[in-house]
Structure 1
Amino acid sequence: MHLVKRSLTTYSKDYSALARSYELTQSVTKILRTRDSRLSQTSSFQYALDNFRSNADGFFCSNQDVLSGPRAVVAQGLVLSDKAIVISLDTGGDVHETTDVGFCIYDKSRNSVYKIQLDIKGRKLSRKSGIMDNLLAVPLKVSPTQAQVFITRLFGHYTQLMKGDHDVCLVGHNLERDLKSLMTLNVNVPRALQKVDTDILCRQFLFPKGLNLGKLARELNVQETKPFHPSVNDAYYTIQVLLKLLSGTECDIPFENLKLSHEEYHKKLHRNLDQFEAMLQIRSLVKDVTGFHDEKTVDQVIKFMCNGSKRPRDFDMKTVMPRIYKALRKMERSVTNPCKNIPKTI
């Protein structure tokens, strides 16, 4: 796995920050490539994580002024075990391509916070995302393969800690979307890892119709130190929102009191992720069989396969190939959606 040299960003004029980003990329990718038998996977990845470490003093503590006005609550604070680890996740891009991944990880046992921004394919940060100075972490520039290796190692590292005596949970705002984005990078998050969605908590405790992360953070008086939208920033704000949402409740990490209320959410989440994984497999088959790589054309094929629906609806993988050929014949006969270059094998 080789480091791909590329332009880091076109909008930032902070050349020292660009140099730090390049050095960080070199350092971390070198660690990911290491096959030194003297270093276990866990210890070597912890060494990689230390590139992103900062002191956690005052980072995860209760705030007495949680809410004001009619929704004011008494802040009781969260009870964290000495081995508590909270992993906050946010992703950027669309359903077909993940452009960046952000993590903000609080590890109480190490009194550490790890803020990680993965920029994939040398993405140029737009004005909406903010220039380098608006990020809470120096970005790590990686290819999709490098991102897949890094994130897989990260979850593997914390899964090993969870098998010990650490209390680990994964947090996100609309977490299902972020997990689907990781699946497009061939990363599957362990099911044993407890998952908490701040969007669900928001609807349960405060706003039944829900709010996006930025609006919810402002309603909860979370101080905006950097702009919203970059993944690492949103991951950081998600942890702060989690704190505020649970400050007036009897919750502890690993959120034993939330398990019952999140039980149905977990079932629905894993069912949706299984269906999304099946869809990814179908899309891959469609691309292999047809040679089409345009996502809109692939969507058309799947739409014909599903009789107008965008969902696979319990496809038996044994019958997928005949369905693909049948869909292609339908597209070929369609007047409104003619499909050229149909494979001769059909």
Structure 2
Amino acid sequence: MSILKVDSLVTELRIADRHFPVVNDVSFTLEKGETLAIVGESGCGKSMLAMSLLRILPEPLARIGSGRILFDDRDLAEAGVDEMRTIRGKRMSIIFQDPMASLNPVETIGNQIAEMICEHEDISRRDARKKAIELLRMVRLPDAEKRVDEYPHRLSGGMCQRVMIAMALACRPEILIADEPTTALDVTIQAQILALLSNLQSETGAAVILITHNLAIVAQIADRLLVMYAGEIVESGTVASVFGNPRHPYTRQLIDAIPKGTGPIEGEIGRLAEIRGSVPALDQRERGCNFSQRCDCAVARCRTDKPVLKQSSGDHSVACFVAQSEAA
């Protein structure tokens, strides 16, 4: 059963006196309890999509140009400020990639969690503090009773990320957006945070939108996958179908770029594959396929016409003329 439906969403960014689509005609659904991964390089619009869903865009620099964000039969694209305050943090929450930049440096972590709870629940400050300690225990923060009175700078990056997860889960949201939740962490702590998120999802039943550029993480914990490029979804499907049979040239190159132990010494990582070029700037995007300038499979049509996302098999869809013609 779908808990969220995004329909033809366009988010625009203003540059000088013009507006350019940074999220362009994006549509997808999120099912209850599932983990949906959104992947792509930096600059592909993943974080702007997350901010659009929660309506935390830096207005008037950015705005929702068109489309719908249907949550519980309500279009959040048209929701007012007061209505979004009742939803954001309580029913939909987000974990940002840099916890040190997201936490208030002059407030204890306990006060910050308690403030989140008091914003959405009729509860005393004392009881909110008790609940904050319970949440810190839930995210496996050592010595929660002592740490609750610590300031963020006294904690490690991994501990601060656990605090951010505790805040995001404080009101047991139905949707949790994790925007690059392990980017600033070392590999060992990354694994701990991912395991924690997976366990907490099982306990709370929340649906998770995982935004990342790390396909290895996606393979571990996600159910479905959206591949974004230059603000558009170019491929979607179950993780098994996309990894097992990637159709879009961009997806294939992302998968090829995953580090593999292929060096001359056993266990050594060999030379990494790379995708030539970079994501085009907003004012340099093509009339046709935005990936055509970097694609070895591009044909003349790719530079003049815009491919649309079409089903290729099952729930596997791709926006690529070459892949679609091969499937036909």
Tell me if both proteins adopt one fold, taking TM over 0.5 as the criterion: no
Higher radius of gyration, 1 or 2: 1
TM-score, normalized by length of structure 2? 0.25
Which protein has the bigger helix share?
A: 1
Q: What's the TM-score, normalizing by structure 1?
A: 0.24
